[in-house]
Chain A
């Protein structure tokens, strides 16, 4: 199974603060362990929400809202995608992450497979999905 590991934002990450050399080294080591264990499929850190944008949908109207966004604890600072054998295994791995500052929270969510969507995913939806993903892959 795959699990998306969501690293929530902190005041520090929102301020655009980059981890120091020691923190980077520790995180690098942790990532290396994930790769060595065959767990890591991908992982990225995000720029602060001040660099981001939101698009609100209301009826036919689309409103673009530029960051930063206020509710820091609801924001994400980064994510991993892992392949593990169970949720327990993902939890066991995240406990070992060198995530330092107090109050930091990580959310783990199992990835829904296409099949989980059942009938909602018609062949047309899937075809469209595939061509999009293909274009993403080529980009």
Chain B
């Protein structure tokens, strides 16, 4: 009884979340495709042609996995952050809070919605990339697991951000001041082996390095870090962020007075 009720509730939240970003597809799905096309044109064709090979591949092929991952990260995070904060702002989050929806279903529903947008945008960016470069796949399972775990990690991050946020400014601070620098310094555009030893060490505390490299391994078969370590980092982040999100919702931080 409770299980079937929870499944229906989860489906309802997922349906609502997916419908939300599909309804405003011009705002949610088109911009990443345009942005990534510009990256391909500027960094791939114009500048990339002068850079030469990186990691044994031409520069365009090297940056494709990182650019796809960048879209996945940004979109899974911002989808949950903006959707959950809007629900708080308009108070329609109360529709779920008064209903017999367990907290894990709320978390799973919003994270699922964020993952759906992240993966869909990742797919669109991959399609765009195919116009610029021949996509090769080294290990499809690594690609699938990495994209699923990364989108889940950042969807959880977006949820926690939205729980704490008191204004719309608060949901743009972390993407602007933390997420973007970490992504750009996370080995999307370069191999961290090119960095001086000290900065290579610093880069290893950036979790995005592990996600980008695992993803790149799935496509090209090369990585600056161990694949096992990458999945371990993702696992630790997911467990930690899920635990934090559950504690916050259970205590009603930012949701209940």
B partners with A = no
B interface residue numbers (CB < 8 A to A): none
Interface, chain A (partner B; CB < 8 A): none
